[in-house]
Amino acid sequence: MKSRNWVRFFLSTLLVGGISTGIIGFALRWSDYQDLFIKFDFLEIISVLFWLFGVGLIFSVISQMGFFAYLTVHRFGLGIFRSISMWNLAQIVLIAFVLFDLVYFRFQVFAKDNESIIPYVLIAIYILVVGLIVAYFKRTSTNKEAFIPALFFMVVVTTIEWFPALRVNEEDWLLLMLIPIQFCNAFQLLMLPKFTQAKKS
């Protein structure tokens, strides 16, 4: 990728992270912020939006670090296993392991007395479903071999990037970090080929 295209890719992903976090942040705490819109407290709205946008930039940088780390890991995986099918099998095992961890270990650590395991299962299912959707579009836009790596990235790498919020385990922060990271990861995964293609003038 040319340096100019890399800069455009980096800035575009930053923008995705900032905007998505701003929208999600207002949506998650709409009951707290709706009075600002009713009173049309412009300065307060801008200050909150600016803060959310800045947090989104941090999420975007984390996402981009994870993305380029995965590109390296993917190459190492192909070199170690010497077979796409074996490397894909290893990735499927890791996907299953991470999803199991998201349910079982989070429930063991954070569940309160008599709390149901269903919310922990639902968040894992949500991450898997989003991963499957993005992987499907990645396969459609490239080739069928891209499905498993894309799913791995959207499930395993997203969960690793999400780890700071997982440790805190506050519902607002869990969703505030997860959804923008998913947007950023999906954007990078689907848009990278368009930024790497050299356009002839």
pLDDT value for 1: 59
Q: From 189, 184, 188, select the one nearest 59 (Cα to Cα).
A: 184
Please name the amino acid found at residue 27.
A
pLDDT value for 200: 41
For the entire predicted model, the pTM comes to: 0.88
Answer for the pair 44, 36: CB distance below 8 angstroms, yes or no.
Answer: yes
Tokens read off for 121 = 């299962």
- Distance in angstroms between the alpha carbons of the first and the last residue of the chain: 17
DSSP characters over 55-97: HHHHHHHHHHHHHHHHHHHHHHHHHHH-SHHHHHHHHHHHHHH
Q: Is the pLDDT of residue 34 over 80?
A: no
Q: Where are the domains of the chain?
A: 3-196
- Measured between alpha carbons, how far is 31 from 200 in angstroms, rounded to an integer? 51
Residue 80 to residues 83, 111, 148, 155, Cα–Cα distance (Å): 8, 39, 17, 22
pLDDT range class, residue 201, cuts 50, 70, 90? very low
Place of tokens 């077979």: 83
pLDDT value for 11: 94
> Is 16 buried (19+), middle (13-18) or exposed (0-12) by CB count in 10 A?
buried
